[in-house]
Amino acid sequence: MSAAIDYPDTRIGGSETKGSQLDALNQWVLQVAQLTEPAAIHWCDGSDSEYAALLETMQADGSLLPLNTDTHPNSWLHRSDPDDVARVEHLTFVCTSDRDDAGPNNHWMAPAEAHAKIDALFAGCMRGRTMYVIPYCMGPIDSPLARCGVEITDSPYVVANMRIMTRMGAAALARIEREGAFVKGLHSIGELDPERRFIMHFPEELTIKSYGSGYGGNALLGKKCHALRIASYQARQEGWLAEHMLIVGIENPQGETHYIAAAFPSACGKTNLAMLIPPESYREAGWKVWTVGDDICWMRPGADGRLYAINPEAGFFGVAPGTSARSNPNALASIQRDTIFTNVATTADNQPWWEGLDERTPVKDWRGRDHDPAKGPAAHPNSRFTVSARQCPSYSPHAEDPQGVPISAIVFGGRRASLVPLVFEARDWTHGVLVGASMGSETTAAATGAVGVMRRDPMAMKPFCGYNFADYFAHWLSFDKPGANLPKIFHVNWFRKGDDGKFLWPGFGDNLRVLEWMIGRVKGEAEAVDTPIGALPRAADLNLENVSLSPEAREKLFGFDRDGWRAEFEGIAAYLGEFGGRMAPTLPAEQKRIATTLQ
């Protein structure tokens, strides 16, 4: 045991907490200290002075580099270990007592084996380091749908990011004391050795253990680990949904706002859609777009039968490459100050830079080397920015509403270069669940592995669902019951390509034209053509003013390829079959119904 640790002084509330709800937390912290042997323990309070001290510590040891204070005040650059730059799905485990509860969609390890394996790595790993205890709340601090957690880490970079990404500190600790429940997260950067790296989830214990990585999704345990993998398990137990979705509000010229939740795999445009800026003609007409969240959405049924959603996060952990004044002006405006950049390049005057930002030439790449295009991109393809959501110009005034915002439509989408049209509407809730469950997308740089490979990514939750997908689909289906007033479900594909390999749809702000059609469908005002795969708009059903589409684009974006969809539904049947007898018959029956109409 490290002699520097003085147990009584590290306990929140000292002896006065005996018998209180914080006793379990204090005991767990001391158990972790005995295992990891830190030189000191620091309980995080979320204060400005604490944050300033963290930044000073990291600047002193070189792990955080100041950027140009004139162009990006109070902004910083962090460079990861080159072998620690993305989520590691192959080293991420869901550890349930019964292997089938984790499902074929997760890597599984028996809980006892998993604890033993990772605790052996944690033993003594914090010697000479400070152990930070981070109480945090996912969601507005006074929301009944919010849930609390505590992350223990030896990384000040993680603490700084968690302060931006969650409601962290004294208020969260007070809520934990009131409720007596929290998710336990234990993290250490370890040696940053890829051979000694695991991210373990224990849903039945509401516990996360992550070792050997400092990268966001592996280390900021409130994010994917808690807000999706553990929360999805909690949501099933408690009757709500924890989803990999943005939440955006669309206000029409009449002053009506419809909120849309949309699921896309990472790096497929969630942040761009969440911060969409309407085309000029729409802005002049009075359309407005409000950002509630760009990545994660928690939804529950309200008293009126509608689904209400909160964004459990308080910040954005966005992909930098491709973010520009053209693609996402709101994101760019958000990150001009008080931002932590990770693995971006820098210019001669020490400004952050990445591919797709502008035409300047960087001088240092993401590893800190002199930039040489022959050595690859200047910024890592998965480089990131961490910033408070409140800095976004389109930040919704209702983002902190404790009851959440009512959802009018749910949208699924991924990268599909062929077959899938621009947009279609599901026939009903069951069909919509099948659309989400069978969603396919080409992989991106947000996870390790090959890029551009088409894989099934149900509801964009393949890397994030904390239990068996067969049970997850059944949970989705369970919301369709008497008294429910459920959102309409749609599927979009911004990434359809022509024969020349170029995108057929302009995307970005013009995506509002598609959202307008969806809202029209919700209100019973927009036209569509019924097909076996759902209701498709004709080109004439969208406002395409000032949008130039070639005949090929009109055919492929609004067309229906019966032969192609017949093959697609054969693939969907095979995919659903992978879950065996655990799969409820509803979705296979829906697949068969549609496949029959495609003959």
**Beta-sheet strands, E only, within 477-591:** 488-492, 529-531, 534-536
Q: Look at residue 266 in the predicted model and tell me its pLDDT.
A: 76
Write down the catalytic residue from 95, 148, 225, 268. Answer: 268
The model's confidence at residue 55, banded by pLDDT at 50, 70 and 90, is very high
Q: Where in the chain is the domain with CATH 3.40.449.10?
A: 7-81+90-239
Per DSSP bridges, beta strands 534-536 and 529-531 are antiparallel
* Residue 534 assigned ligand-binding role: no
* Residue 415 assigned ligand-binding role: yes
Q: Look at residue 12 in the predicted model and tell me its pLDDT.
A: 56
The rounded distance, in Å, linking the Cα atoms of 82 and 304 is 50
* Residue 311 assigned ligand-binding role: no
Q: What is the DSSP letter of 317?
A: E
Per DSSP, what are the bridge partners of residue 210?
187, 199
Q: What string of DSSP letters covers 411-446?
A: EEE---SSS--SEEE-SSHHHHHHHHHT-EEE--TT
The rounded distance, in Å, linking the Cα atoms of 222 and 296 is 11
What's at 411, amino acid-wise? V
The rounded distance, in Å, linking the Cα atoms of 38 and 124 is 8
Query: How far is CA 306 from each of CA 301, 482, 515, rounded to the nearest angstrom?
Result: 6, 12, 19
Share of the chain above pLDDT 70, in %: 95
CA nearest neighbour of 83 among 371, 374, 382, 320: 382
Query: Is the pLDDT score of 9 beyond 60?
Result: no
* Residue 404 assigned ligand-binding role: no
Instruction: Report pLDDT digits (tens) over 228-260.
Output: 999 999 999 999 999 999 999 999 999 999 999
* Residue 45 assigned ligand-binding role: no
Cβ burial of 306 (10 Å; 0-12, 13-18, 19+) is middle
The model's confidence at residue 78, banded by pLDDT at 50, 70 and 90, is very high
The model's confidence at residue 8, banded by pLDDT at 50, 70 and 90, is very low
Q: H-type helices in 303-386, by residue range?
A: 329-334
Q: Look at residue 397 in the predicted model and tell me its pLDDT.
A: 97
* Residue 510 assigned ligand-binding role: yes
Per DSSP, what are the bridge partners of residue 241?
299
Scan for tokens 């409000």, then name that residue.
Answer: 290
CA 271 to chain centre: 10
Which pair of structure tokens corresponds to residue 324? 């520009």
Average pLDDT estimate for 323-328: 93
* Residue 249 assigned ligand-binding role: no
Q: Where in the chain is the domain with CATH 3.90.228.20?
A: 242-315+396-561
Radius of gyration of the chain (CA): 24
**Beta-sheet strands, E only, within 314-363:** 315-319, 340-342, 345-346, 352-353
* Residue 364 assigned ligand-binding role: no
* Residue 190 assigned ligand-binding role: no
Which pair of structure tokens corresponds to residue 88? 């590691």
* Residue 270 assigned ligand-binding role: yes
* Residues 242, 245, 247, 253, CA torsion sign: negative
User: Is 297 a catalytic site residue?
Assistant: no
Query: How far is CA 167 from each of CA 68, 431, 558, rounded to the nearest angstrom?
Result: 28, 37, 43
The rounded distance, in Å, linking the Cα atoms of 517 and 558 is 13
CATH of 7-81+90-239, one of 3.40.50.1100, 3.90.1300.10, 3.40.449.10, 3.40.50.300: 3.40.449.10
* Residue 213 assigned ligand-binding role: no
CA nearest neighbour of 30 among 51, 59, 7: 7
CA nearest neighbour of 474 among 592, 589, 582: 582
Mean residue pLDDT across the chain: 94
Give the CA count within 13 Å in the CB-facing half-sphere of 208: 31
Is 340 in a helix, a strand, or coil? Answer: strand
Contact (CB, 8 A) for 491 and 411: yes
Which pair of structure tokens corresponds to residue 533? 């795969």
Q: H-type helices in 453-510, by residue range?
A: 469-477
Contact (CB, 8 A) for 159 and 44: yes
Contact (CB, 8 A) for 330 and 359: no
The model's confidence at residue 590, banded by pLDDT at 50, 70 and 90, is very high
Average pLDDT estimate for 556-585: 96
Is 265 in a helix, a strand, or coil? Answer: coil
As a whole number of Å, the end-to-end CA separation of the chain is 70
The model's confidence at residue 445, banded by pLDDT at 50, 70 and 90, is low
The rounded distance, in Å, linking the Cα atoms of 231 and 240 is 10
* Residue 365 assigned ligand-binding role: no
Contact (CB, 8 A) for 222 and 203: no
Q: What is the CATH number of domain 242-315+396-561?
A: 3.90.228.20
Average pLDDT estimate for 38-62: 97
Q: What is the DSSP letter of 148?
A: E
Query: How far is CA 396 from each of CA 54, 193, 223, 557, rounded to the nearest angstrom?
Result: 30, 41, 21, 31
Query: Is the pLDDT score of 3 beyond 80?
Result: no
Cα pseudo-dihedral 499, 505, 506, 510, rounded to 10: 180
* Residue 216 assigned ligand-binding role: yes
Cβ burial of 566 (10 Å; 0-12, 13-18, 19+) is middle
The rounded distance, in Å, linking the Cα atoms of 137 and 159 is 14
Q: H-type helices in 135-258, by residue range?
A: 156-165, 170-179, 216-219, 231-238
Which pair of structure tokens corresponds to residue 576? 């659903």
